Chain A
Amino acid sequence: MESSDAEVIAAIRAGDAALFGELVRRYQSRLFATARRYARREVEVEDIVQQILIRVFQNLDSWRGDAPFEHWIMRIAVRVCYDALRAHQRNREQPITELSTEESDWLENHATIPENSSIDSDAARSLVTRAFEQLAPASRLILTLLEIEDRPVKEIAELTGWSVPLVKVRAFRARAEMRRVLSRMGLEKYL
């Protein structure tokens, strides 16, 4: 029978550091999925996940067991991803390149019949990626957690360490910022 997280952590604290590999195996998939939402390139994803796990290892003594270990590790993951976004902030303001033919076609279809525009299209995904890369780190984080991952505001507050009112204010600003980004990308002319 598999040991619980608490039992594994107790053993690690007692000196069996090699058991940390068990925690890595349990959570690495989820951490990679989380990191892929924020990293610009695949090569950065492994660095981010490694940073998360190093921070988890170094702060393992501070997990008191009052919340599930999964929540605690995800809190660290979100904060490391946010730090990674901020570290690359100065590369955010890149010149906006022309839309591809596929992207233009998708936008025209959306303008004509919004309900019928495909959500499974590479062109649409490309537009989303480009728009998100232009957002400030806090905006990108909050839109990802709130609107893409559909997490409740209270959970986002716990993950980020922000207060609930701050999460709401940042969400409001993030939506406005994304609209400005779409306008700057010249997408308004298709609507």
Chain B
Amino acid sequence: MKLEGLRQKLIQVARHQPVSDCVPYAFEQRVLHALRALPPRDPALAWVAGLWRAALCSLAIATVAGGIHLTQPDDPTAPVEAVADSDLLEVATLGDLPGFEAPLPDTLRP
């Protein structure tokens, strides 16, 4: 509590301390000279900077999302993904039937 009292007293000191608002001699001229010496702003550069920022953000998000996806453990109870090739799916299904043997392709026949 005493430390807080000292802190508040020091803040009071700071509040009471006047801050000078005096301006150095010829400051206005120096500022205007500095402004005249500035290179002209190219609007295209602002676009480029913005696009770079967007690209880097997208890359960061994709990296994080990819990392999360790769570190996720495989779920054995998850349903098998549907086979894209419907012909292959039909052959596999018929092959499950007892006594049925899928015909060999011509290239594999003796």
Chain A residues close to B by CB (< 8 Å): 17-18, 20-21, 24-25, 28-30, 32-33, 36-37, 46, 49-50, 53-54, 57-58, 107, 110-111, 114, 117, 119-121, 124-125, 127-128, 131-132, 143, 147-148, 150, 175, 178-179, 182-183, 187-188, 191
B5 CB to nearest chain A CB (Å): 6
CB-defined A-B contacts under 8 Å, sample of 12: A24-B28, A30-B21, A49-B27, A110-B6, A114-B5, A124-B10, A124-B13, A143-B11, A147-B11, A178-B7, A179-B4, A188-B3
Q: Bound state CA distance, A103 and B27, in angstroms?
A: 36
Choose from B6, B14, B15, B31 the contact partner of A187 (Cβ within 8 Å): B6
Q: From DSSP, what is the main secondary structure of chain A's interface residues?
A: helix
Contact (Cβ within 8 A) B20 A58: no
Q: Given A33-B19, A37-B19, A125-B13, do A25 and B38 touch, yes or no (CB 8 Å)?
A: no
Q: Does B108 contact A (CB under 8 A)?
A: no
Q: Bound state CA distance, A178 and B6, in angstroms?
A: 10
Q: Bound state CA distance, A117 and B32, in angstroms?
A: 46
Contact (Cβ within 8 A) B21 A21: no
Q: Bound state CA distance, A132 and B11, in angstroms?
A: 10
Extra contacts, 11 of them, besides A36-B21, A107-B6, A125-B13 (Cβ < 8 A), are: A20-B35, A21-B28, A24-B28, A24-B31, A28-B23, A30-B21, A46-B27, A49-B27, A111-B2, A182-B7, A191-B2
Q: Mark B35-60, 1 if CB is under 8 A from A, else 0.
A: 10010010000000000000000000
| Best-surrounded residue of B4, B6, B32 (most CB of chain A within 10 A) | B6
